[in-house]
Structure 1
Amino acid sequence: MSALSALGFRRPGAAHAEPGIPGPHPAVVLTQVTKVYGGGVRALDEVSLTVPRGTFLAVMGPSGSGKSTLMHCAAGLDSPTSGGVRIDGQEIVGLDEARRTELRRDRVGFVFQAYNLIPSLSIEDNITLPLRLAGRRPDREWLDALVERVGLARRLRHRPAELSGGQQQRVAVVRALAARPTVVFADEPTGALDLHSAHQVLSLLRALVDEFGQTVVMVTHDPAAAARAHRALVMADGRVVDVLDAPTAPRLADRLVALGGR
């Protein structure tokens, strides 16, 4: 049994259950979400989406398709013009900023293309900083298991500049998981990495889903990255125009070409 499994980070029922076994609530639910910006620009047009627990969802589409806006609304970083957003059963539309910040802190993890690590802090302090700012004590056993899983146990006293880009992104993944969130949103997490490092990070994200039941929603422009997901949404003009189960890079690339490229 792995250290993470021993700590209970797995889907209910079995260690190797099929992805998507539901918990008390789906991880994320969007109901007819519309987002209109100034000048009448409709970035999202009545998008409905359910993300079951324990799944890896990729979101793709040409530039301006609405994929980043979808992530921002789903994660509570932005408010839709209309429609509903639930995270772990909690409706977040209509919450004041303080409540939304609290919900994001407790139930949402973020991994971005930029690692957003603080250069002057050690790797360990970078991982635990969000918890400490929230007034929460880190779960030492949990964090030890995470850093062991991502191969960083001997690097905790290093500074970010002493690590490779792939290692820094793995630090960002651990930081996102430190509070045991309901869902991790990853925005172009491999965009700044070489092919080898990108493969390592994508393998890690997939393993966290398949082995330990984490839920991941990843926005990416890369068909090869999206092909690591269980399911891929393809967006265009603010709408979901295709859903591919067990996506492959060639199918995704062909779909993007048909929509006019990235």
Structure 2
Amino acid sequence: MTTAAPRTTLTVADESGGIPAVRMESVTKVYRRGRGAPALDGVSLTVPRGVFLAIMGRSGSGKSTLLHCAAGLDAPTRGAVWIGDTEVGRLRESARTRVRRERVGFVFQAYNLIPSLTVEENITLPLRLAQTPGDPAWLTTVVDRVGLGEFLSRMPGDLSGGQQQRVAVARAVATRPDVIFADEPTGALDPETGDRILSLLGDLVRDLGQTVVMVTHDPAAAARADNVVVMAEGRIQQIVHNPDTVGLTAALGGRTR
């Protein structure tokens, strides 16, 4: 495991020279102007396509705010955010919603499936919302990869937690997004099932060329990523390459929450 000196800027090596999946430039987020420290303080982050990046930090470190700004869920107070070639930080909410719907995938701790829709309908929901038919061959590949072929007609309530999270992963990939944001995706799962979900996310990156940015408090989960950003006081404290669980726990001072 190797670490870089503390700084607020991370650029993950990109040999392709293409447009990054996500780019944040000097992003600051202040929730209560003039009161308290900013949730993000001048953070710059470049994430190329086809990487698995984890974001770690103690409670209040800014990791969730970073995800919200990077995903277009929230607008920065200062600075700029791009998803692909689109600057989303300055868009109106309706336009940001359209970008999120068409070009961003989300995986949450609580699955967030629609209980009245079948597995297949949940997976294809982003396509229907974006009013696009999607690519049938791609959807078949995704369903096969997550192992849901025999469950498509079932309802979410008939599935285990791990199966429901696989549905959520397939839904996130259905539109072939620029980036998938995973917010504590294994937090509600037992260790063995969580490990399978992490393996699945890694497979999406290595085999299907997707980009995954995962927020987690769990060093064991973060160690499955290619690189780890450790947040503290709204800044990137350090960057860990070739991460391992022991080193990440030490980077957080022995605390994970």
The separation in 2 between residues aligned to 1:153 and 1:21, in whole angstroms, is 35
Secondary structure in 2 matching 1:37: coil
The separation in 1 between residues aligned to 2:31 and 2:47, in whole angstroms, is 25
Q: Which amino acid aligns with 2:70?
A: A
Partner of 1:7: none
Question: Superposed, which structure 2 residues align to 1:52-201 within 5 Å?
Answer: 52-201=48-197
Partner of 2:6: none
Question: Could you report, residue by residue, the CA deviation over 1:44-74 in whole angstroms, capped at 9, with x for unpaired residues?
Answer: 0000111011100000000000000000000
Instruction: Note if 1:24 corresponds to 2:18.
Output: yes
Instruction: Note if 1:33 corresponds to 2:27.
Output: yes
RMSD: 1.3
Cα distance change, pair 210–24 in 1 and its aligned pair in 2 (3 A): same
Give ranges in structure 1 of 5+ residues lacking alignment: 1-18
Partner of 1:253: 249
The separation in 1 between residues aligned to 2:198 and 2:147, in whole angstroms, is 15
Q: Which amino acid aligns with 2:222?
A: A
Instruction: Note if 1:236 corresponds to 2:232.
Output: yes
What is the total number of aligned residue pairs between the two structures? Answer: 243
Q: Which amino acid aligns with 1:247?
A: P
Partner of 1:15: none
Is 1:21–1:53's contact at 8 Å kept on the other side of the alignment?
no
Q: Which amino acid aligns with 2:220?
A: A
Q: Which amino acid aligns with 2:40?
A: L
Is 2:54–2:214's contact at 8 Å kept on the other side of the alignment?
yes
Q: Which amino acid aligns with 1:178?
A: A
Partner of 1:4: none
Partner of 2:206: 210
The separation in 1 between residues aligned to 2:211 and 2:14, in whole angstroms, is 9
Give ranges in structure 2 of 5+ residues lacking alignment: 1-12
The separation in 1 between residues aligned to 2:201 and 2:95, in whole angstroms, is 28
> How big is the shift at 1:98?
1.5
> How big is the shift at 1:210?
1.3
